[in-house]
Structure 1
Amino acid sequence: MPPDSPTHPPSSSPGAWRIALPHSTAAVPIARALVRTALADIDMSADCDTAELLTAELVANAVEHTGGAGPIELVVELMATGCQVEVHDRDPEPPGDLSRPGPGSEPDPWQEHGRGLLLIRTLSSACGHRATEHGKAVWFTLPAIPAQPGPSPRS
């Protein structure tokens, strides 16, 4: 299978996808499409719009704030309790502060950048980062939302 094709690793989770993304801004729409497709595959999913937004923020941060060596990897794991999205890059430096904001830690409203991590902290049920063998993974989780019943068929 080509390195940029989604793979389904052996896992006990309802679904997991792993894809290598280019280290360019083209990675953002690819990542959004993969998350939307993954969440459409299950009945009990997380908020797709929020998942897409937060994934786009993580991927854009990886492209902007890490060196261009090596691909970025997107991992989407669907769980009975929701979903977890991870973005792996080759830079071992941790991202900005993913802990809950304290007084005075809000971004400057006049600055063009600096709101991505705030969105991730605010809209996810959990988020963080961890060291990996080749750099780091930055992640967030979203809780499951029960599927809405569709219209009942008419006789």
Structure 2
Amino acid sequence: MSAPRNGPTVHDHPSAPASWRIALPHSAAAVPVARALVRTALAKLEHTADGDTAELLTAELVANAVEHTAGGSPIELVVELMPTSCQVEVHDPDPAPPGDLTRPGKEPPDPWQEHGRGLLLIRALSSSCGHRPTGAGKAVWFRLPAVPAQRGPAE
């Protein structure tokens, strides 16, 4: 695996993908840092994916990685902005797949419980999501579509 890069890799062509990769602490402090990185990446390149949804789903993935994996090693956030979509991945050291990410659970989450709705939100609000093994554990990801720019009123 290559060394983590901090900061954007921006290509010369404006429609080429841009990506960010950053190691995050294995603590609750990682969640606001991850949200800020996604917000900044989308704003910097004026990407049209829904920033609020991207921040929410990123927070869910990072919080799950912090809560459900051993705290010895950092987690990694990867944000890829492509002309037609935005993909966010969270890499963690645990090879076990996340709960019911790609298919609904047998029972709906209890609305009175503090936990249990994160994967449901990711499934419901992303255009696609999943997980894959990595050399050091797994990557859990979601994708949001870019929304075409709205045309202003004709003058």
Same fold (TM over 0.5): yes
Q: How many residues align?
A: 148
Letter in 2 for 1:32: R
Partner deviation per Cα, 1:9-54 (whole Å, 9 max, x = no partner):
88x9421000000000000000000000111123442100000000
Instruction: Give the equivalent residue in structure 2 for 1:139.
Output: 141
Q: What are the residue-to-residue correspondences of 1:64-103 with 2, within 5 Å?
A: 64-101=67-104
CA contact (8 A) 2:5 2:20 kept: no
Letter in 2 for 1:6: G
Q: What percentage of residue pairs aligned between the two structures are identical?
A: 74
Letter in 2 for 1:46: A
Partner deviation per Cα, 1:57-81 (whole Å, 9 max, x = no partner):
0000000000001110000000111
Cα distance in 2 for partners of 1:89, 1:17 equals 16
Cα distance in 1 for partners of 2:47, 2:90 equals 23
CA contact (8 A) 1:4 1:19 kept: yes
RMSD: 2.3
- Give the secondary structure class of the aligned counterpart of 1:8: strand
State the TM-score, normalizing by the size of structure 1. 0.86
Moved more, 41-50 or 19-28: 41-50
The Cα of 1:7 is off from its aligned counterpart by 4.8
CA contact (8 A) 1:8 1:17 kept: yes
Q: 1:33 and 1:143, CA in 2 relative to 1: closer, same or farther beyond 3 A?
A: same
Instruction: Give the equivalent residue in structure 1 for 2:7.
Output: 6
Q: 1:33 and 1:61, CA in 2 relative to 1: closer, same or farther beyond 3 A?
A: same
Instruction: Give the equivalent residue in structure 1 for 2:115.
Output: 113
Instruction: Give the equivalent residue in structure 1 for 2:65.
Output: 62
Instruction: Give the equivalent residue in structure 1 for 2:28.
Output: 25
Segments of 5+ residues of structure 2 without an aligned counterpart are none
CA contact (8 A) 1:43 1:146 kept: no
Cα distance in 2 for partners of 1:23, 1:149 equals 43
State the TM-score, normalizing by the size of structure 2. 0.86
Segments of 5+ residues of structure 1 without an aligned counterpart are none
The Cα of 1:148 is off from its aligned counterpart by 4.0
